[in-house]
Amino acid sequence: MKYKAGPQGLTFPVKVHPGASHSAIQGVEGEYLKVRLAAPPVDGKANEELIKLISKLLNLPKSRISIRTGVSSRRKVLLLEHFPEESFQRFLQSIEKG
């Protein structure tokens, strides 16, 4: 999976599947982090659920997570403000291990 660390923080691509039975990281699919969301894709509810899930998993305040591109798309790019690259690498490794 590709991600970029820059002065604003770390960005990475996400592919979401709203309307699932529960919210969870599904794994890595190509260059995307695949995420299932329990919320429907209506009125920004899926986006809110995505930020809530990532916040919980990375122990990062929701205020430091934003959607850079793809607000109304299943394919999005998230920005984690001031999040250490090493911590994100550990997160990815934990996903790959299952």
**CA–CA distance, 79 with 9 (Å, rounded to integer):** 6
- Amino acid type, 62: K
| Mean pLDDT calculated for residue range 49-54 | 98
pLDDT of residue 1: 87
| Mean pLDDT calculated for residue range 70-80 | 97
Into how many domains does the chain fold? Answer: 1
Reference 39, options 26, 27, 53; nearest CA is 53
Domain containing residue 31: CATH number: 3.30.1200.10
pLDDT tens, position by position, 3-48: 999 999 999 999 999 999 999 999 999 999 999 999 999 999 999 9
Tell how far CA 13 is from the center of its chain.
7
Domain that holds residue 85: 4-97
Q: Counting every residue, how long is the chain?
A: 98
pLDDT of residue 96: 81
